[in-house]
Amino acid sequence: LFSFAMQRATLLLVVLAVLVAGVSASAYWTAGAVIKTTTVNPGDRGLSPARVLSANARAYVPYVEAAAAAGISVLVFPEFTLGGDYSACNKTSAAGLRPFCTPLPLRAPCSQADGDDQGGLCVLQAAARASGVYLSVNMCEDSVDHDGHLYNTQVVFAPDGSVLAQYRKTHPY
């Protein structure tokens, strides 16, 4: 029930972000929610945090492609899946969680040519752009001012790949 309620709240955030962005009031959307994804966890195959984030973002891409093929225009992913199992590797503490956190906004241009996909977010940006689907993704955000705060953040990618909205939840983790 919590997961379903959280996804409804996230979908509302996406719809509000789209409306604020100036999409025509006559436009309509077909929404989809991914209830469960297969995630790679930190203990799996000894992967680094960057590789866990990248692998999980790449695992989202087939869902995005399937949504686009089915005519879905807004796709919401479940909370706590981009970074894998948040209880693994002592990720319940700030020090254990920080390696799985990515600062926003994304550095522009978002390019993977240098091997840095910015915590998998470049993969998701490219998927949104390739599919034309709005994506709502939950992530751990490391504050850009490096004040030591970590945030449970919901990010909305527009169909052009830009970050349309981000929301730092009131009760992080």
pLDDT reading at 4 higher than 50: no
The dihedrals phi and psi of 81, each to the nearest 5 degrees, come to -110, -25
Residue 29's CB: how many other CB atoms inside 10 A?
15
Condensed to tens digits (0 to 9), the pLDDT of residues 98-132 reads: 888 888 766 555 665 555 677 788 889 999 999 99
**Which pLDDT score is estimated for 135?**
94
More confident residue, 84 or 4: 84
User: Cis peptide leading into 172, omega within 30 of 0?
Assistant: no
**Which pLDDT score is estimated for 1?**
33
Mean pLDDT of the chain: 76
Tokens standing for 57? 């973002």
